[in-house]
Amino acid sequence: MTRVSLGQSVAALSGVRAEESMKTTLSVIKADVGSIGGHIQPSRRLLERVAEVVDSAGKALIQDRYISYTGDDIAILMTHTRGASDEKVHKLAWDAFVAGTAIAKEEGLYGAGQDLLKDSFSGNVHGLGPAVAEMEIEERPNEPFLFFAADKTDPGAYNLPLYLGFADPMYCAGLILSPKMFKGFRFRIMDVNYTHGDKTIDLNAPEELYDIAALLRDNQRFVVESIWSRETGAQAAAVSTTRLHNIAGKYTGKDDPVMLVRVQGEFPATGEVLAPFEKCHLVAGFMRGSHTGPLTPSRLYTDISYFDGPPVVTGAAFCVHNGILTEPADVFANPFWDSVRAKAAEKSVYIREQGFSGAAMLGMDELEYGGIVEKLTVLEKRFKVKETKETKETKDAKKKK
Ligand code: F6R
Ligand code: MG
Ligand code: MG
């Protein structure tokens, strides 16, 4: 598919901004509502419909938007002054995805409406299926930030890059060179297995580095939800933490995460945030959301291919001023990343060499398909225990009781 011009940011939406001193909210809401040829990328008409709804219904609500896709997921990045979890802004995105779903059904796209798990909208999109990352910020005179979107993986995929980019001077030189960063950062980490509400813990880097690492090693359970500057108290990062698995109680697709990261000044430099992605570390996802594969830093508008993967992450850099976005800069387009992608391809093949065996496939708790549980239940009945003197004695003892 050709690249859509829809993705270009427009300053055409009027929004309401009474004073320049108002805070700006960055909201990104993403969903998979249908895809061409399997789970690989949305259709052009679907994207156009989503953009149409955002632009018409959002006229008096938001100031600017950038609509893009990464694999089969469509992300709507919006700027406004209404704060996080705003009902109207969330409903705007929900309505756009519902309208997109109608097109997906009309075109016979695969997985039409897949991430819209509830029939109707109530309050905000949390718990309804779409993933959300939001930040209400006091704009600096120049306000650069990065927007990341990943497909065929889950929110814990960002744990390692965030730890290295914000807490390890081997990656973030600013921690030793920039006085504005000497105090370090506060990590808010969520236990995503807890489903009765948001269960989080705040831990400070550098004092509590080992505690942070002890949690972040478990990407499936503990996920960085946000990061804050300890120098200014300002929010540096916001990550979507939705687990569709926990909402639907069954497989409905991976929780392909989005993330916003402010950069420069009291925050890490853009390149410090990007550097850890060179690792292409192994994450959960890939085929059927049930395997392990390298997180591959990819160009904007990258589709999905090999073994329904590899897991991909894209990054768009922006500056925002009085709520208006610049055009995006593609942070993984530089030729440097071509060799990184070649490494990721090698790592993909390397782990795929062992198919279903051991580390290549996720553990039973994380397998996204229930079919294997049914299979094991059937097989369990066919197991036979060989009778020995000991088993006979145990059986007899049980009978006597
Ligand atoms: C993973 C993903 C795909 C599908 C696979 C099978 O997130 O979207 O790997 O799991 O293509 O899809 P179904 O079960 O819909 O045929
Ligand atoms: Mg997806
Ligand atoms: Mg999908």
159: phi then psi, degrees, rounded to nearest 5: -55, -55
198 flagged as catalytic: no
Residue 16 has pLDDT above 70, yes or no: no
Ligand nearest to the CA of 73: 2
Which ligand 1 atom is at minimum distance from the Cα of 111?
A: 15
pLDDT at residue 34 in the model: 97
Residue 92 has pLDDT above 70, yes or no: yes
More confident residue, 363 or 296: 296
Give the Cα separation of 91 and 96 in Å (integer). Answer: 8
Which ligand 1 atom is at minimum distance from the Cα of 152?
A: 7
pLDDT at residue 4 in the model: 44
Which ligand 1 atom is at minimum distance from the Cα of 288?
A: 10
The β-bridge partners of 330 are: 316
Ramachandran region of residue 236, left (φ > 0), alpha (ψ -120 to 50) or beta?
alpha
What mean pLDDT do residues 4-23 have? Answer: 61
What mean pLDDT do residues 184-209 have? Answer: 94
Q: Give the environment of ion ligand 2: residues with CB less than 5 A.
A: 32, 71-73, 151, 256
DSSP 2: P
**Ligand 1 mutation target, pool 30, 35, 39, 115, most atoms within 8 A of CB:** 39
32 flagged as catalytic: yes
Write down the residue that tokens 């229930």 correspond to. Answer: 370
What pLDDT band is residue 390 in, cutting at 50, 70 and 90? confident
User: Whole-number mean pLDDT of the chain?
Assistant: 92
Q: What Cα–Cα distance (Å) separates residue 96 from each residue in 52, 153, 226? A: 8, 24, 26
Candidate from 59-73, 112-126, 314-328 with smallest mean pLDDT: 112-126
Of all protein residues, whose CA lies closest to atom 2 belonging to ligand 1? 288
Q: What Cα–Cα distance (Å) separates residue 71 from each residue in 32, 256, 310, 314? A: 9, 10, 10, 10
Candidate from 17-31, 225-239, 346-360 with smallest mean pLDDT: 17-31
Of all protein residues, whose CA lies closest to atom 14 belonging to ligand 1? 288
Give the Cα separation of 1 and 46 in Å (integer). Answer: 13
Share of the chain above pLDDT 70, in %: 92
More confident residue, 194 or 314: 314
Which ligand 1 atom is at minimum distance from the Cα of 39?
A: 8
What mean pLDDT do residues 239-244 have? Answer: 81
Tell me the CB-side half-sphere exposure of residue 95, using CA atoms within 13 A.
14
pTM > 0.85: yes
Which ligand 1 atom is at minimum distance from the Cα of 256?
A: 7
Residue 25 has pLDDT above 90, yes or no: yes
pLDDT at residue 274 in the model: 99
279-338 pLDDT, tens per residue? 999 999 999 999 999 999 999 999 999 999 999 999 999 999 999 999 999 999 999 999
Residue 243 has pLDDT above 80, yes or no: no
Q: What Cα–Cα distance (Å) separates residue 15 from each residue in 21, 54, 63, 290? A: 15, 12, 4, 42
188: phi then psi, degrees, rounded to nearest 5: -100, 120
Q: Which residues sit with their C-beta closer than 6 Å to ligand 1?
A: 38-39, 152, 253-254, 287-289, 308
The dihedral over CA atoms of 62, 85, 153, 217, expressed in degrees to the nearest 10, equals: 130
Task: Give Dmax (Cα) for the chain.
Answer: 86
> Which residue among 254, 255, 256, 347 is the active-site one?
254
Give the Cα separation of 268 and 271 in Å (integer). Answer: 8
Distance from residue 149's CA to the centre of ligand 2 (Å): 10
Distance from residue 104's CA to the centre of ligand 2 (Å): 15
Write down the residue that tokens 């600017």 correspond to. Answer: 64
What pLDDT band is residue 253 in, cutting at 50, 70 and 90? low
What mean pLDDT do residues 212-232 have? Answer: 97
Give the Cα separation of 261 and 185 in Å (integer). Answer: 13
Query: How many other CB atoms are found less than 10 A from the CB of residue 201?
Result: 15
> Which residue among 32, 72, 154, 255 is the active-site one?
32
pLDDT at residue 297 in the model: 98
199 flagged as catalytic: no
Whether the upstream peptide bond of residue 206 has omega within 30° of 0, thus cis, is: yes
Residue type, 25: T
Residue 228 has pLDDT above 90, yes or no: yes
Given a contact cutoff of 8 angstroms between Cβ atoms, the answer to whether 256 and 131 are in contact is yes
Of all protein residues, whose CA lies closest to atom 13 belonging to ligand 1? 288
> Which residue among 251, 301, 306, 343 is the active-site one?
251
Per-residue tokens: 329: 């800069």
Of all protein residues, whose CA lies closest to atom 15 belonging to ligand 1? 111
Tell me the CB-side half-sphere exposure of residue 228, using CA atoms within 13 A.
16
Share of the chain above pLDDT 90, in %: 79
